[in-house]
């Protein structure tokens, strides 16, 4: 992808380009046959993603397969100028009629009674398996739900994609082989998604070395639900040619533990003074307007040098980006089309986006990550906050006009301090356990970090007590107060213009996930997890578990016995329409999601 010329940059938009976005497939085809000028405009919309157009026009499987067969026959005679218009090759199942929908996971395919979809998918891939060899300008490959042959290698003279998606695929080792053809094919891949694939066989042995996943230009890696262990992720990170190469890592729903956190820390941009990031005597670096009266104003991008060892051969000048990396396919494609160079598309900046939920992490992992770096922009780790030996060893956050309480500080207080605007000035999206807001010692509000725009609180009990619901209501009222303060700041500062003062948007999305338990399954077996949970308490020859139950019961008892528990979803809806409405109502988006369904 080359940079646009000056002539292209200053040329105004062609009216035909504006019209083409609103035309149907039939109208695009008709307009492309008018003349050469029309063809140069409308043909690129037809051929940008040809498989999507064929899939949308298919009503029955025979018609669907016939279209693909005709395409495979006509590709060889298609003009090279037309082939160069193809940017996306998309095999995803949404282009197949819904009557042959495929189960989500590969392991469930054998249970499908109707094999119509699976047979059609095999035929489609057999007809179109050589498309990357024909469309040499294709940059985005979605090869989802494909069972690759066990032995072939990528074809000669293939394309060089920027995005490669292999979700729910079988035999992906044939694509990610380290031979010369595969190296040339994968040399420019920035976005790699192999979620829901089988990285291990039935004997729990890796099907191929994990180090093959660390491609030379890789920035975004998605490994969700692939039975990933600490040793696997450690090998992947160690194979990185540049310590700050990865920008986004998605390893949700795997078997990782706290043992891999030190390896993740090595791929983060450290704080300016990593030796004492939260010490009361430590003077915070100047991140811009973080004072009380100016906390809603955006700070300019910060430039700093990362501490390094003398033998570390890498460029450590970090170019800070105000926006998270595009870790969704649509946003990545849009970013790739706006940038002509790989370095401009995803510069080296270290891990700024982490999706870690659904593993065996503890609250120590959460605290270590937020203490290690001030450049994290997206963090997804919903582990419960529990007092541990590590959290007790951490210094207490500085008290604001109050005497420091005796005893160890609860992890929620430490997390709140590290998630503040001064210590996490780039954090925009956070997914954490609900105790961050609902714990009695919590002081976390929307104003703790006005740069945060999206907050998800997980593991909220379906039947919650008054104290938990009161904390959520207080948080919503504080978010409404922040919203009014931001509106006042915009009116006072006169926001507008390219060089005008930018005001932070504040919290705009609050997502409450009702149900579920924090932490993930390390064993992968439900019975083993239940047995391990039963053994967490103190051992007794008498088998008396009453002390544990009694401790839980005391928390839920009031003056008249056990406190009354109500439906959290229904109570929040009632409160939003009554006390929380009117001028006090928060104008952001509130989502209450129940495990297995969702609603507002």
pLDDT in tens, 174-205: 888 766 666 778 888 999 999 998 888 777 77
CA-closest candidate to residue 433, choices 372, 383, 505, 359: 383
pLDDT band at 124 (very low <50, low <70, confident <90, very high): low
Task: Note the pLDDT of residue 66.
Answer: 66
Share of the chain above pLDDT 70, in %: 66
Please report the sign of the dihedral spanned by the C-alpha atoms of residue 423, residue 425, residue 426, residue 430. positive
Q: In Å, what is the CA distance from 467 to each residue of 187, 445, 566?
A: 55, 16, 11
Name the burial class of residue 173, with classes exposed (0-12), middle (13-18) and buried (19+) by CB atoms within 10 angstroms of its CB. Answer: middle
Q: Which residue has the higher pLDDT, 486 or 273?
A: 486
Task: Note the pLDDT of residue 14.
Answer: 76
Q: In Å, what is the CA distance from 111 to each residue of 104, 131, 432, 534, 547?
A: 12, 31, 36, 33, 46
Structure tokens at 76: 């060889």
Q: Looking at the predicted structure, is the pLDDT value of residue 579 above 80?
A: no
pLDDT band at 292 (very low <50, low <70, confident <90, very high): low
Per the prediction, the chain carries an average pLDDT of 76
Q: Looking at the predicted structure, is the pLDDT value of residue 558 above 50?
A: no
pLDDT band at 383 (very low <50, low <70, confident <90, very high): very high
pLDDT band at 543 (very low <50, low <70, confident <90, very high): low
Structure tokens at 431: 């997914």
Q: What is the three-class DSSP state of 520? A: coil
Q: Which residue has the higher pLDDT, 6 or 516?
A: 516
Q: Looking at the predicted structure, is the pLDDT value of residue 147 above 90?
A: no
End-to-end, the C-alpha distance of the chain in Å comes to: 43
Weakest mean pLDDT among 39-43, 114-118, 363-367: 114-118
Share of the chain above pLDDT 90, in %: 27
Q: Please provide the DSSP assignment of 461-504 as one string.
A: -SEE-HHHHHHHHHHHHHHHHHHHHHHHHHHHHT--STTSPPB-
Sequence ranges of the domains in the chain: 231-283+318-398+408-431, 434-533+563-600
**Residues 364, 418 contacting (CB under 8 angstroms):** no
Query: What mean pLDDT is predicted for residues 205-226?
Result: 88
Q: Looking at the predicted structure, is the pLDDT value of residue 217 above 80?
A: yes
Q: Which residue has the higher pLDDT, 185 or 272?
A: 185
Query: What mean pLDDT is predicted for residues 316-335?
Result: 72
For residue 562, list its beta bridge partners. Answer: 557
pLDDT band at 547 (very low <50, low <70, confident <90, very high): very low
- The angle subtended at Cα 263 by Cα 260 and Cα 268, nearest 5°, is 125
Task: Note the pLDDT of residue 293.
Answer: 53
Q: Looking at the predicted structure, is the pLDDT value of residue 172 above 90?
A: no
Query: What mean pLDDT is predicted for residues 97-102?
Result: 44
pLDDT in tens, 25-64: 788 888 888 888 888 888 888 888 887 777 665 555 555 5
Q: Which residue has the higher pLDDT, 534 or 207?
A: 207
Tell me the pTM.
0.81
**Residues 305, 295 contacting (CB under 8 angstroms):** no
Task: Note the pLDDT of residue 45.
Answer: 85
Weakest mean pLDDT among 165-169, 301-305, 344-348: 301-305
Residue 515 DSSP class:
S
Q: What is the three-class DSSP state of 381? A: coil
Residues 380 and 267: their CA atoms lie apart, in Å, by: 17
Helical pair 568-577 and 466-493, crossing angle rounded to 10 deg: 40
Task: Note the pLDDT of residue 532.
Answer: 57
pLDDT band at 157 (very low <50, low <70, confident <90, very high): low
Q: Tell me how crowded residue 24 is: count the other CB atoms within 10 A of its CB.
A: 8
- The angle subtended at Cα 257 by Cα 233 and Cα 230, nearest 5°, is 25
Residues 195 and 221: their CA atoms lie apart, in Å, by: 9
Task: Note the pLDDT of residue 397.
Answer: 80
pLDDT in tens, 411-466: 999 999 999 998 998 899 999 999 999 999 889 999 999 999 999 999 999 988 88
């Amino acid at each position: 992808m080359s940079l646009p010329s000056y002539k292209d940059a200053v040329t105004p938009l062609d009216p035909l380009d504006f019209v083409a976005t609103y035309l149907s497939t039939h109208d695009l085809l008709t307009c492309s046959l008018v003349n050469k000028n029309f063809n140069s405009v409308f043909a690129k919309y037809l051929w940008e993603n040809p498989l999507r157009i064929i899939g949308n026009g298919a009503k029955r499987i025979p018609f669907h397969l016939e279209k693909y067969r005709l395409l495979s026959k006509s590709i060889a005679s298609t003009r090279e100028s037309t082939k160069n218009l193809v940017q996306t090759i998309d095999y995803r199942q949404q282009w197949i009629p819904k009557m042959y929908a495929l189960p989500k996971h590969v392991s469930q395919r054998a249970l499908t009674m109707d094999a119509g979809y699976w047979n059609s998918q095999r035929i489609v891939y057999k007809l179109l398996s050589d498309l990357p060899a024909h469309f040499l300008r294709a940059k985005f490959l979605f090869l989802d739900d494909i069972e690759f042959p066990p032995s072939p290698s990528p074809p000669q003279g293939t394309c060089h994609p920027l995005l490669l998606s292999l979700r729910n695929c079988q035999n992906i080792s044939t694509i990610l082989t380290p031979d010369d053809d595969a190296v040339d094919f994968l040399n420019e891949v920035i976005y790699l998604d192999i979620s829901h694939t089988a990285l291990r066989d039935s004997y729990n042995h890796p099907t191929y070395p994990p180090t093959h996943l660390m491609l030379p230009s890789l920035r975004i890696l998605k490994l969700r639900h692939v039975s990933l262990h600490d040793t696997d992720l450690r090998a992947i990170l160690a194979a990185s040619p540049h310590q700050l190469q990865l920008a986004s890592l998605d390893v949700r729903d795997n078997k990782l533990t706290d043992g891999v956190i030190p390896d993740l820390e090595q791929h983060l941009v450290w704080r300016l003074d990593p030796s004492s990031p939260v010490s009361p005597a430590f003077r915070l670096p100047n991140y811009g307007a973080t004072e009380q009266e100016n906390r809603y104003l955006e700070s300019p991008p910060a430039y700093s040098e990362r501490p390094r060892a003398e033998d570390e051969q890498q460029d450590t000048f970090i170019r800070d980006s105000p926006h998270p990396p595009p870790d969704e396919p649509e946003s990545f494609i849009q970013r790739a089309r706006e940038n002509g160079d790989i370095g401009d598309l995803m510069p080296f900046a270290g891990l700024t986006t982490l999706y870690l939920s659904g593993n065996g992490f503890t609250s120590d992992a959460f605290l270590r990550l937020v203490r290690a770096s001030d450049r994290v922009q997206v963090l997804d780790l919903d582990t419960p906050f529990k007092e541990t030996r590590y959290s007790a060893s951490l210094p207490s956050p500085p008290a604001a006009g109050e005497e420091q309480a005796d005893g160890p500080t609860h992890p929620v207080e430490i997390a709140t301090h590290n998630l503040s605007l001064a210590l996490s000035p780039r954090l925009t999206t956070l997914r954490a356990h609900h105790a961050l807001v609902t714990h009695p010692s919590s002081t976390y509000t929307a104003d703790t970090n006005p740069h945060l725009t999206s907050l998800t609180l997980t593991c909220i009990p379906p039947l919650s007590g008054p104290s938990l619901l009161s904390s959520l209501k207080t948080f919503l009222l504080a978010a409404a107060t922040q919203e009014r303060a931001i509106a006042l700041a915009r009116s006072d500062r006169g926001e507008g213009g390219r060089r005008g003062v930018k005001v932070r948007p504040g919290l705009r999305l609050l997502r409450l996930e009702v149900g579920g338990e924090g932490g993930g399954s390390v064993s992968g077996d439900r019975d083993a997890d239940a047995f391990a949970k039963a053994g967490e308490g103190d051992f007794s020859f008498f088998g008396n578990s009453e002390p544990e139950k009694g401790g839980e019961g005391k928390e839920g008892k009031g003056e008249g016995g056990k406190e009354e528990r109500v439906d959290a979803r229904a109570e929040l809806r009632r409160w939003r329409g009554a006390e929380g409405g009117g001028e006090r109502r928060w104008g952001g988006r509130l989502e209450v999601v129940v495990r297995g369904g969702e609603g507002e």
